[in-house]
Amino acid sequence: MIQRPPSAEFTLSDAKGLRASAQGRLCAEALNGARTKAMEALSDIRKIMPRHILVPLIFMAAACASMQPASVSTGNAGLVALARGNNDEAIRDLTRALNSGDLSTRDQALAYMDRGAAYYNKGEYAKAIADYNASISLLPDYASSYSNRGNAYAAMGDYDKAIADGDSAIRLNPKYAMAYNNRGLAYQGKREFDKAIADFDAAIRLNPDIAPAYNNRGNAYQDKGEYGKAIADLDTAIRLTPNSASAHYNRGRARFLTDNFDNAEWDFQRALDIDPQQEFEGFGVLLLHLSRIRTGQDDAAELRGNAARIDLAKWPGPIVALYAGQATFAQVMVAAAKGDAKTQHDQDCQADFYLGEYALTRHDSGQAAAMLREARDTCPQNFLEYVAALRELQRMGQSLRTQSACAPARAPRCSAIEERKG
């Protein structure tokens, strides 16, 4: 049997007990026993488990793997690689184990699920879904495969399928806290924030130490404009996981939107220090820069350094390049027009806000007001850029009821914008 480390709801005493039983057959028994006590998915472990608990389990899984037949040992090696974040190695080892023909039906299902998690981590969502489908066909009563497949559907924007998979996971395991968290994210994607918050509440009731649910509920409260509740939840997420770049970034956003720029700056800097390659890195660089401007600092040199650390070809990299003196307004607008219709719309609104802020740094209040009004009129109301544009226009003394005039820098695309509004 492939020995899978226990899932996210795992305690330090459990870890100590596991270490104490690391002899032959007792190792497998300890791992199996721990799995029955907690949620099932290995992919959950890295989201929640403190590093001081996770690391011993990784080495224990490696020790157990060395005691197993070759095909099972290869599968275990894949799990160790997955837990360490080495997705390519995990896919290679799990594929070899699956191709061996030596795995039981249950172990095949688990191997497909874990390989799906590796594909998901790489952003290869169709491949992840294919593996989760295979896992479910082999082991249809395993809740984690449904919950993980739901995450992949949500990542592809298919929130209804994600919610349906969350329903199945919760039906199979009503105490599966992460399944509630994941379904809550799908509801949040549909902008059904009250339903999302209800699911995050349920996850927290089941596991009061589930940091991602506090982080996600904090974001949902931000989406509703309830920033006090958002910051309280993000404080808790950071207390539980002090090295969470995501929680620091999200709390920085809430502080930025409540004009607490000193503390927002600290959070954005902390997020970048923890994980310079985070998925929101470009926005973190921009918001860190704007927070410093708000507090009267000149960080031009550091901005150029931060710009050098990120992929400027990836959105919002072109905006960062503009701020760092390496691109023009026109180049930003061309970049914003790439992608599908929804992507273009979202990038348009983000460009409007950050170009408006850029114009302010150049003391061009007319251009700034026009761009900020565009952001106000085109951004979804749960976007940071929408709320921040409203606040900036208030500071500038602009009437919130004034309709946008086409900003000069946007002239080539104004007709398209007006058509989209209509």
- Please indicate, yes or no, if residue 296 is contained in any of the structural domains: no
Kindly report whether the global pTM for this prediction surpasses the value 0.85. Answer: no
At residue 401, does pLDDT exceed 70?
A: no
**For residue 384, what are the domain limits?**
328-422
CA dist 102 and 137 (Å) reads 18
Structure-token pair, residue 119: 């594909």
Last residue of a domain, one of 140, 163, 187: 140
Total number of domains in the chain: 2
The answer to the question of residue 47 being in a domain is yes
| Mean predicted confidence (pLDDT) in 247-267 | 96
Tokens of 289: 């820069």
CATH of the domain at 46: 1.25.40.10
Those residues whose C-beta lies under 8 Å from the C-beta of residue 19, and which sit 6 or more positions away, are 56, 60
The answer to whether residue 186 is domain-embedded is no
Tens of pLDDT, residues 171-183: 999 999 999 999 9
Cis link prior to 316 (omega < 30° from 0)? yes
In a domain, 175, yes or no: no
Q: For the segment 143-153, what is each residue's pLDDT rounded down to a tens digit?
A: 999 999 999 99
Q: End-to-end distance of the chain based on CA atoms, in angstroms?
A: 60
Distance CA 373, CA 46 (A): 42
Classify residue 116: in a domain, yes or no.
Answer: yes
Return the closest-CA partner of residue 348 out of 303, 422, 356, 362. Answer: 356
CA quadruple 310, 312, 318, 320: dihedral, nearest 10: 30
Higher pLDDT, 97 or 36: 97
What number of H helices and E strands is found in the chain? 24, 0
Boundary of a domain, candidates 140, 156, 179: 140
DSSP characters over 161-184:
HHHHHHHHHHHH-TT-HHHHHHHH
Q: Is residue 245 part of a domain?
A: no
Residue 261 forms part of a structural domain? no
Taking only the tens place, the pLDDT of each residue in 204-254 is 999 999 999 999 999 999 999 999 999 999 999 999 999 999 999 999 999
**Residue 108: closest CA among 73, 54, 58, 72:** 72
Question: pLDDT tens digit string along 286-321?
Answer: 999 999 999 999 888 999 998 888 889 999 999 999
Give a yes or no: residue 300 inside a domain: no
Q: How many residues does the chain have?
A: 422
Closest alpha carbon to 214 in 246, 173, 176: 246
Domain final position from 140, 171, 188: 140
